[in-house]
Structure formats: structure tokens, C-alpha cells
Amino acid sequence: MGLLILMGIFATCVVIGLPVAFALGIAAVSAFYFEGLPLIVAFQRIVSGINVFSLMAIPFFIFAGELMFHGGIAARLVRFASSAVGAMRGGLGIVNVFSSMLFGGISGSAVADISALGSILIPVMKEKGYDDDYAVNVTVTSSIAGIMIPPSHNMILFAVATGGGVSISKLFLSGVVPGVVMCLCLAIVAYVIAVKRGYSSEVFPGFTALFLHFISALPGLFTAVIIVGGVLSGIFTVTESGAFGTIYAFLVTVLVYRSLTWESFKTAVVSSVRTTSMVMILIACAAAFAYMLTYFQVPTKMIEFMNGVSDNPIVILLMINCMLLILGMIMDMAALILICTPIFLPVAVAIGVDPLQFGMILMMNLGLGLCTPPVGACLFVGCAVGNVPIEKAVKTIWPFYAAIFIALMMTTFIPAISLTLPNLLDG
């Protein structure tokens, strides 16, 4: 009965439009009260949920991404990508994918990717004769690179949700190959559709221009080197690397590019504070909710349920993927990371899946959910930026969904895609 109350109140709060963070907190406190547990324990769990040192990296990553968004780094990355692959048929679609891969690896946020690159590329693609639905669909689906390719604050959330048993540096490495594979699949689909629709190619600007655009983009690209390289080399902790990355991004946008104005700086600060506040409240309330899930033995019951359906690891992994895909379509990603990890991770580990690989499966599933209705934040932002009705975009986005699904299946059933780079770190 207690579990029914926990899930029922949570579902009711979400349906009536209450923010997910408050829905988690209200449901958890209600379950504590129903079970006769001291309410002080519930609030201790809420506070302890954010009393984790590694979480300090999240506001730094978010602020660094906002500074780069408003400081001109995204525009330079687009110029570099356009010089490199724009001469291919339908080149701007491929430029969009690889720009997302470059910027996503710096900002660590899918929504930031769409906001920064979409506002630059979608109008240009329309001007060059690309259909608006194509421009939006490429931008929306490729934005998931911001989740997969390090640094990613979502990976920090996953590490926290595992109870600290997973190395953040190894998680960063685990996301590189799956993220690149996904972008390659999207680039192929973007090319095929561009050829089918008869889109033109850009003129190759020459190797001199390519080199100059690379040099212009290099200071911005080096932000990711500082953040990820500092962690992997052991020079910085994740939190320290985030702080240094933020300082570096500020210095680059102010002293090197000289494109960060006082007004854009204030906008970046306000946006970072708002986003960080939402994330931290969500983490705090999800900690109490996850405690009650464990109290009701939901992970154990989930293992028993899935083993009752089948003891075949392939079938169980397909079931996990289906559940995550469905949940990703109706709930916020950060909340699902914190809720689903303690439920599904024990199931995955029980059938021999490495926690790092499961983390990538979780990220890609929930990332796909960001691009799908009815609660796809990336889809909504992309359509708003491109001024395209959601109904029109969804009608033609299916090939891009298929590309991500192929990458997801490869990540699910080929462990080496996620584990080769982390294993090299151990070696």
C-alpha cells in the first residue's frame, strides 16, 4: 500500500502539472508519513541528497556552457565544421550534426546545444533552401551529443545516483565512442535525406580557410580539453576541472574573442542560477524518493519480475530499453536518471552488464526521450527556435529516431563500444 501511495501521489502531481521536483518531494514525504517513519529522516534524506561534493561541478559546467553560448564560441565551431564537411551533398545537415558533437562536448547540455547552434544554423539552412522540418529535426536529434560526449552534468547525476560507486572520469570516457557512433548514424541519415530531397552542397573554402577557422575555434575547443583532460590526468577533481573550465571559458570569451558583453554576461549568470537551482531541488527531492523505493524493495522486485518473464539477458535488456524509452517520453531526464538508476542498475548488473555500459544505455534512451513528444524538451526548443509546428517536425523525424535507435542497440549489445576507452584508462 505504501508503494501505491508513493507512486500514485507522484503520478497525480505530475498529471496536474506540478513541477517534477515538488512531485517527488511530496510523494516521498507522504510515503514516509504513511509508513510511520520519522519525518525528520525524510528531510535528512533531502538535505543529504545534495550534500555531495562532486555535485559542485554541475553549476560550474552549466555556467561554462552559458558563457560559451553567449560568448561566441558556438559560432566559431559552426564555421569550422562548415569548412570541414560543408562541401558534401546536403552539407549543412552534416555540419549541424558535427557542430553538435563539438559544442555538445563542451557545453554538456542538449538544450544548450539546440539554443546555441539552432539559433545559428536553422536560419542559415532555411536561407540555403533546406526545408524547415529537416533543419529542425537534424538540430533536435543531434543535440543528444551534449549528453553523451563529455563533459556532461547528466553523467555526474548518474554517478551520484549509483551511490558513488562509479568513477566520473570513466563515465566521461564511456560516452565518447557511443556519442560519436550516434552522430555518425545521424550524419548518414542527414546525407541520405538531403540527397533524396535534392539539397545542394556548399563550396569548399580551401585548406587555408579550413585551417584559419580551426585556429579560430581552437581556444573554445580547448575548454573541453581542460575539463576532461584535467579529470582523466588526475590533475583536477571533477569539481576543480569545472571551476577551471569556467574561468578559462570566461577569459577566452572576454580576452581572446572579446565577444562577451556585460548584458550577455548577466544573462548567462541568471540562466545558470535558474538552471542550477532547478537541478539541485530535483536532486534533493529525488534522494528521498529513491530512499523510499529502496525501502519498498522495488529494485529487488524488479529483478524478480524480469527474471520471471525471462532469464535471457538479451530479452531483459530489451525490456529495460523499452521501459526507459517510454519513461523518457513522458518525464524529465534528470529526474529519470535519479529514479531509474537505483531500480534498473541492479537488474543490469545481475545479468552481467557493466555499470558504465548501463550508464550509456540510460543516457541514450533518455536522450531520445528529449526528442519525442509529449514531453520532449529538445523537440519543443528546436521547434520554437525554427518556428516550425511540432506536428510538422514529428511527421518527418522518424529516420533520425531510427539512427539513434541503431546506435542505442549497438551500445546495448556491443559492450566494447562503451568499455574500451575506460579499460584503457585502467591499463
pLDDT at 416: 93
Output the pLDDT for position 105.
63
Residue type, 302: M
Whole-angstrom distance, CA of residue 367 vs CA of residue 407: 12
Phi, psi of 238 (to 5 degrees): -60, -45
pLDDT digits (tens, 9 = 90+) for 361-416: 999 998 888 888 766 778 877 887 788 888 888 889 999 999 999 999 999 999 99
pLDDT of residue 197: 86
Strand partners, 89: 201
What is the longest distance spanned by two Cα atoms in the chain? 72
23-71 pLDDT, tens digit per residue, is: 888 998 998 988 888 888 888 888 887 777 777 877 887 788 778 777 7
Residues in the chain: 427
Give the model's pLDDT for residue 365: 92
Other beta carbons within 10 Å of 52: 14
Q: H helices within 117-229, ranges in order?
A: 119-127, 132-142, 145-148, 153-161, 168-197, 207-224
- CB-CB contact of 244 with 230 (8 Å): yes
Q: Cβ neighbours of residue 189 under 8 Å, at least 6 residues apart?
A: 399, 400, 402, 403
**Cα angle value 202/206/207 (rounded, 5°):** 130
Close Cβ partners of 20 (under 8 Å, ≥ 6 residues apart): 14, 282, 331, 332, 335
Residues 281 and 245: their CA atoms lie apart, in Å, by: 24
For residue 388, the SS3 value is coil
Rounded CA-CA distance 236/406 in Å is 35
> Which of the residues in the chain have pLDDT under 50?
none
Ramachandran category for residue 72: left, alpha or beta (phi over 0 → left; psi -120 to 50 → alpha): left
pLDDT of residue 107: 63
Q: How far apart are CA 92 and CA 76, in angstroms?
A: 15
